[in-house]
Amino acid sequence: MADLAWELFNLAALLSMGAGFFWKDRRCHLLRALGWTMLGLFWLAKLPGYIDAGDTVNGLGSALALPIFLFLAYHEGRSYQWDDDYPPLRFVCGAVFIAGMGYAVVGNVPPLREAFIEVIARQSVWLANLPGYDFGIAAVTPDYTQLSGVPINIVLECTALQAFLVAGAFLFGCRGDPKRRAWTFLVIAPVVYLVNLIRNAMVIILVHDNGADYFDFAHNYIGKTLSLVVLVILIIMAFIIVPELYQDINGLFELPWRRGPKHDYLRFVGRLYGDKEENEKPNGKDDSSENEIHTTEDKPET
């Protein structure tokens, strides 16, 4: 019952963010602020479960979610106060809404969840068997697929569904040419899918060879390190192909220096793309007359 209550709480938070993303009224910032606060509390509530499972990486993410989301909620409150639509805040709100709703739908529809988990489990087992092992499928349930030959269950978190949804939401939620964004997603999605299968197969083999006690290290450190390295490479590629994505994400890191409306979050954007003559202004300075956004306080240089 408690799990159902928290899932409904998460759904309410996402709906609040979705309404704030699509609504053009100034009060949309209040809905986004409410949504961020509720999401932070939702992820904080998941922290004890990650601690009990020994999942350090996800536990750290849950612990950091509340302060980060409260910081975003604070800036949404500032946007309401200043009547200022800061594009990076709208971008991340839309991305989280799309990814969160997609995961909530799949995660809460048992037949869909079961089918997706089983497909990933069977393909992971097939890949793990290539070196000559004999793993198999012992049982299929709506919540997990149990493997034979190794004490491992494949669950929804093992399917990389979150990575697909986040990649799609970020690419289709940012600005930029729709064709470039679509092609970038078509490149990223198969790579994420394959890397996830390799990670699953690697964890299956390592646990089989070293015992069940090796699972935490294989899954939470080796497997997730592999995923992180590939993720960084894919993000850099996406930044180069879709520079607007880089600009929007850069704008989020500019939030600590946002002191007033119309903050120029592009002022310190690196030159990742375009012709040098188009990107550089005379004397190395930006021409504020060519940019509608202006800064109210300079960010200190490091």
Q: Which residues contact 43 (CB under 8 A, 6 or more apart)?
A: 61, 62, 65, 66, 69
- 1 vs 151: CA distance, rounded Å: 28
- In a domain, residue 156? The reply is yes
Q: 256: exposed, middle or buried (C-beta count within 10 Å: 0-12, 13-18, 19+)?
A: exposed
Confidence check: pLDDT of 97 > 60: yes
Residues 103-122, mean pLDDT to the nearest whole number:
90
Residues 115 and 255 grouped into a single domain:
yes
Q: What is the mean pLDDT of the chain?
A: 83
- In a domain, residue 77? The reply is yes
Residues 193 and 48 grouped into a single domain:
no
- 208 vs 218: CA distance, rounded Å: 11
Higher pLDDT, 231 or 42: 42
The amino acid that residue 89 corresponds to is L
Give the domain extent around 170: 110-263
- 172 vs 235: CA distance, rounded Å: 14
Whether the CB-CB separation of 40 and 65 falls below 8 Å is answered with yes
What's the pLDDT score for residue 178?
83
**How many CA atoms, within 13 angstroms, populate the side-chain half-sphere of residue 277?**
0
Residues 150 and 81 grouped into a single domain:
no
Dihedral sign (CA 266, 269, 272, 278): positive
Confidence check: pLDDT of 274 > 70: no
Q: Which range (72-76, 239-243, 267-271, 275-279) has the least confidence?
A: 275-279
Confidence check: pLDDT of 82 > 50: yes
Residues 197 and 131 grouped into a single domain:
yes
Q: What tokens does 243 get?
A: 């520079």
Residues 249 and 118 grouped into a single domain:
yes
What's the pLDDT score for residue 270?
57
Residues 50 and 148 grouped into a single domain:
no
Q: What tokens does 26 get?
A: 């100034």
- In a domain, residue 6? The reply is yes
Residues 38 and 169 grouped into a single domain:
no
- 12 vs 78: CA distance, rounded Å: 23
- CA proximity to 22, closest of 31, 13, 11: 31
Q: At 294, is the pLDDT very low, low, confident or very high (cuts 50, 70, 90)?
A: very low
Residues 13 and 154 grouped into a single domain:
no
Residues 21 and 145 grouped into a single domain:
no
Whether the CB-CB separation of 159 and 102 falls below 8 Å is answered with no
Q: Which range (76-80, 262-266, 283-287) has the least confidence?
A: 283-287
- In a domain, residue 207? The reply is yes
- In a domain, residue 301? The reply is no
Residues 124 and 247 grouped into a single domain:
yes
Residues 131 and 237 grouped into a single domain:
yes
- In a domain, residue 98? The reply is no
Q: What tokens does 244 get?
A: 């607007």
What's the pLDDT score for residue 118?
94
E strands present in 141-252: 145-148, 153-154
Q: Which range (68-82, 172-186, 265-279) has the least confidence?
A: 265-279
- 283 vs 18: CA distance, rounded Å: 43
Q: How many residues does the chain have?
A: 302
**How many CA atoms, within 13 angstroms, populate the side-chain half-sphere of residue 220?**
16
Q: 100: exposed, middle or buried (C-beta count within 10 Å: 0-12, 13-18, 19+)?
A: buried
- In a domain, residue 288? The reply is no
Per the structure, the count of domains in the chain is 2
- In a domain, residue 276? The reply is no
Q: At 121, is the pLDDT very low, low, confident or very high (cuts 50, 70, 90)?
A: very high
Residues 53 and 130 grouped into a single domain:
no
Q: What tokens does 229 get?
A: 């390295």
Q: What tokens does 209 get?
A: 């060879």
| Residue 283: φ, ψ to 5° | 65, 20
